[in-house]
């Protein structure tokens, strides 16, 4: 069977993506870092709706953790493969560069950019062998236009966008598409301390986006209807970058 692995699937956008992909018929592997409670809630919501889901804990920023978890999963699913990968796990450590310490920089780069590399490299082989695969990474408007206070995050997301374009060219002939989505402000735990009332005035649509709206876009990119879309960055931001 074709499984979908969603990193950071326990909460926010990742949780909504897990539910959307399950609705499309994919058995979903919900990755999480530490919030098993939230991952179990996502799993229950999928099962209550008639879908199939399982949990897989690993730290995307830790090569050994990624390798061990995915190798274990494959050994227990010899007739299945990860056909869809959604690189979604992420953190923010915002501060002006003059105050940014080494850990603020490296943890954000490791989680987003190294995480993209470790997980994608590990699972793409099966997609290439089976000649069908979908890789969608959740980038950000910050990786396209830069945001003050986010040099670490903008660099990581910009790196994912560039890697997405390069990888898309490597694997296109094998039926594997590689795309990124770039949300603006989306209502999740990651943005809950932001001043939504003030910030929404800067957004042409006049509101933050919903995790489900990003998830529907990811579900489309994963579908057969999107087979000819690859190497693209699709912005979803209520007109913020127009
Ligand atoms: P969130 O609600 O804070 O959720 C973050 C998720 O990432 C959680 O499931 C968390 O797992 C997981 N995670 C964090 N570090 C991890 C690691 N090292 N290994 C595995 N999982 C890890 O964030 P969100 O807003 O949904 O963001 C999801 C993605 O969208 C991120 O890549 C973010 O940069 C991007 N994004 C968000 C916005 C926005 O406005 N919200 C805008 C643009 C882009 P635990 O539950 O176990 O902690």
Kindly state whether residue 205 falls inside one of the protein's structural domains: no
The closest residue, in CA terms, to atom 18 on ligand 1 is 59
Q: What are phi and psi of 106, to 5 degrees?
A: -70, -35
How buried is 136 (Cβ within 10 angstroms: 0-12 exposed, 13-18 middle, 19+ buried)?
buried
Kindly state if the Cβ of 81 falls inside 6 Å of ligand 1: no
Q: How far apart are CA 54 and CA 225, in angstroms?
A: 26
The closest residue, in CA terms, to atom 44 on ligand 1 is 140
Kindly state whether residue 241 falls inside one of the protein's structural domains: no
Q: Render pLDDT for 199-229 as a digit per residue (tens, 0 to 9).
A: 999 999 999 999 999 999 999 999 999 999 9
The CATH number of the domain holding residue 64 is 3.40.50.720
Q: Render pLDDT for 114-172 as a digit per residue (tens, 0 to 9).
A: 999 999 999 999 999 999 999 999 999 999 998 899 999 999 999 999 999 999 999 99
pLDDT score, position 146: 86
Q: Render pLDDT for 52-83 as a digit per residue (tens, 0 to 9).
A: 999 999 999 999 999 999 999 999 999 999 99
Kindly state whether residue 112 falls inside one of the protein's structural domains: yes
- The rounded Å distance from CA 171 to ligand 1 centre is 27
pLDDT score, position 172: 98
For residues 71-98, give the mean pLDDT: 98
Report the number of distinct structural domains present in the chain. Answer: 1
Kindly state if the Cβ of 162 falls inside 6 Å of ligand 1: no
Reference 181, options 220, 208, 146; nearest CA is 220
Terminal Cα distance for the chain, rounded: 41
Regarding pTM above 0.85, the answer is yes
Reference 9, options 68, 69, 75, 54; nearest CA is 54
- The rounded Å distance from CA 138 to ligand 1 centre is 9
Kindly state whether residue 201 falls inside one of the protein's structural domains: no
- Structural domain span for residue 215: 2-184+211-236
pLDDT score, position 6: 99
> Residue 242 pLDDT more than 90?
no
């Amino acid at each position: 069977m074709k499984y979908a692995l969603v990193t950071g699937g326990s909460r926010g956008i990742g949780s909504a993506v897990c539910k959307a992909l399950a609705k499309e018929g994919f058995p979903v592997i919900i990755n999480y870092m530490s919030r098993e409670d939230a991952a179990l809630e996502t799993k229950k919501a999928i099962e209550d709706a008639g879908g199939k889901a399982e949990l897989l804990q690993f730290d995307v920023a830790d090569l050994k953790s990624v390798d061990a978890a995915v190798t274990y999963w494959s050994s227990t699913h010899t007739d299945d493969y990860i056909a869809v990968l959604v690189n979604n796990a992420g953190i923010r450590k915002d501060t002006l560069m003059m105050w940014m310490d080494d850990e603020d920089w490296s943890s954000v780069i490791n989680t987003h950019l190294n995480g993209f590399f470790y997980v994608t490299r590990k699972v793409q082989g099966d997609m290439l062998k089976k000649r069908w695969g979908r890789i969608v990474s959740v980038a950000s408007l910050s990786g396209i236009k830069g945001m003050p206070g986010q040099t670490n995050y903008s660099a990581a997301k910009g790196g994912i966008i560039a890697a997405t374009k390069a990888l898309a060219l490597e694997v296109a002939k094998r039926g594997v598409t590689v795309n990124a989505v770039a949300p603006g402000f989306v209502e999740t735990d990651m943005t809950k301390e932001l001043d939504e009332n003030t910030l929404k005035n800067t957004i042409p649509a006049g509101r933050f986006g919903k995790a489900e709206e990003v998830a529907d876009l990811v579900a489309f990119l994963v579908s057969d209807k999107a087979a000819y879309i690859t190497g693209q960055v699709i912005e979803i931001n209520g007109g913020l970058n127009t």
